């Protein structure tokens, strides 16, 4: 029902903001519907393919592989804990749903980082761009998670694509914010040293600023993964499958047992991903980077020195 502009609420003119948003989405559907259908098909085939790949080995084989990955990435205690936790997931018959959720989280995180890290770099280098991006990130991060399900279902219909797009929107801001923060926190003296040794701006970004900002950037990656996982569970309400679907089923049936089985599986997957990504954020010391810059400058000077 369309509201008139002259309608008032407690003496204040009624702003038809919702009608404007609805009209905008109707225009998008009418003019870009085919485009969103193609994107939806691409997302669904990619996520389903990745999910099938993760589910193709025997569950215990994948448990061992993921546990070894945790052991190599961190230490034997994380590997042992992963082995126990993931075996529990298999034991409560939530393995297939967990792999579906892992596939969605992986793909959503990849898309969010491909978009977010370049935006964070641009925001760190140009203050005007940072001021432009900041309110958009505020909107994306503070909007209730359930609200994002409404427009994506309108554009992509119910299913995996709608859940994944909502997950990317919800998980993107930390990647942008913490990438910008990490680069801005790099000591200006280190950047000046890079310039003094003849490094170009791209070299300084790639070999100095990003390595020094790596712990902060990896904290952003960690937050992106955690938010993607939480939103992937919520996306079960729109048919995204995985553990979210199990949680939704348990709510609709008041099945306490299923709810706790799916819930503990989410917790185990979250802890596994959190500890694994934390181990990848190894610190790069300032002294080590300065040593690399000096070595490069010395090598360049030696190469340019005249031969006798």
Query: Residues of the chain with pLDDT > 90: what percent?
Result: 16
pLDDT of 195-236, one tens digit each?
676 667 777 777 777 888 888 888 888 889 988 988 888 888
Phi and psi of 185, rounded to 5°? -85, -5
Query: Residues of the chain with pLDDT > 70: what percent?
Result: 85
Whole-number Å distance between alpha carbons of 214 and 68: 24
Mean pLDDT, rounded, for 146-172: 85
Can you give the pLDDT at residue 1? 47
pLDDT of 96-112, one tens digit each?
999 999 999 999 999 99
Query: In this structure, are residues 224 and 171 in contact, taking their beta carbons and an 8 Å threshold?
Result: yes
Please, what is the average pLDDT of the chain? Answer: 81
Has residue 52 got a pLDDT over 80?
yes
Can you give the pLDDT at residue 88? 93
Query: In this structure, are residues 127 and 78 in contact, taking their beta carbons and an 8 Å threshold?
Result: no
Has residue 121 got a pLDDT over 70?
yes
Question: Over the chain, what HEC string results?
Answer: CCCCCCCEECCEECCCHHHHHHHHHHHHHHHHHHHHHHHHHHHHHHHHHHHHHHHCCCHHHHHHHHHHHHHHHCCHHHHHHHHHHHHHHHHCCCHHHHHHHHHHHHHHHHHHHHHHHHHHHHHHHCHHHHHHHHHHHHHHHHCCHHHHHHHHHHHHCCCHHHHHHHHHHHHHHHHHHHHHHHHHCCCHHHHHHHHHCCCCHHHHHHHHHHHHHHHHHHHHHHHHHHHHHHHHHHHHHHCCCHHHHHHHHHHHHCCHHHHHHHHHHHHHHHHHHHHHHHHCCCCCCHHHHHHHHHHHHHHHHHHHCCCC
Q: Domain 33-295 is in which class? A: mainly alpha
Can you give the pLDDT at residue 294? 56
Query: In this structure, are residues 258 and 249 in contact, taking their beta carbons and an 8 Å threshold?
Result: yes
Catalogue the long-range contacts made by 246-250 (C-beta closer than 8 Å, 24 or more residues apart).
246/94, 246/97
Has residue 283 got a pLDDT over 50?
no
> In this structure, what token pair is assigned to residue 260?
């706790």
Q: Residue 41, Cβ neighbours under 10 Å: how many?
A: 11
């Amino acid at each position: 029902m369309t509201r008139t502009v002259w309608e008032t609420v407690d003496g204040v003119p009624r702003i038809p903001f919702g009608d404007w948003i609805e009209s905008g989405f109707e225009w998008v559907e009418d003019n870009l519907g085919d485009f969103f259908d193609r994107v939806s098909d691409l997302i669904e085939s990619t996520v389903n393919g990745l999910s099938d790949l993760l589910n193709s080995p025997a569950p215990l084989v994948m448990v061992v592989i993921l546990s070894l990955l945790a052991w190599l990435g961190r230490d034997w205690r994380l590997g042992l804990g992963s082995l126990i936790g993931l075996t529990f997931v298999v034991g409560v018959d939530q393995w297939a749903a967990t792999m579906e959720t892992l596939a969605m989280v992986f793909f959503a995180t990849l898309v969010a980082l491909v978009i977010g890290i370049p935006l964070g770099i641009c925001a760190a280098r140009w203050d005007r761009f940072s001021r432009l991006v900041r309110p958009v990130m505020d909107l994306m991060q503070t909007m209730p998670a359930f609200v994002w399900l409404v427009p994506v279902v309108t554009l992509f219909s119910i299913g995996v694509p709608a859940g994944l797009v909502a997950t990317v929107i919800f998980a993107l801001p930390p990647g942008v914010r913490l990438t910008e923060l990490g680069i801005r926190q790099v000591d200006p003296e280190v950047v000046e040293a890079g310039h003094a040794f003849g490094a170009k701006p791209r070299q300084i970004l790639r070999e100095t600023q990003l390595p020094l900002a790596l712990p902060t950037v990896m904290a952003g990656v960690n937050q992106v993964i955690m938010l993607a996982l939480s939103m992937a569970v919520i996306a079960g309400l729109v048919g995204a499958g995985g553990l979210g679907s199990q949680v939704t089923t348990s709510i609709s049936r008041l099945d306490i047992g299923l709810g706790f089985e799916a819930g503990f599986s989410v917790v185990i997957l979250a802890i596994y991903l959190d500890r694994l990504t934390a181990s990848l954020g190894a610190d790069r010391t300032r002294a080590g980077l300065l040593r690399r810059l000096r070595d490069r400058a010395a090598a360049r000077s030696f190469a340019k020195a005249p031969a006798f």
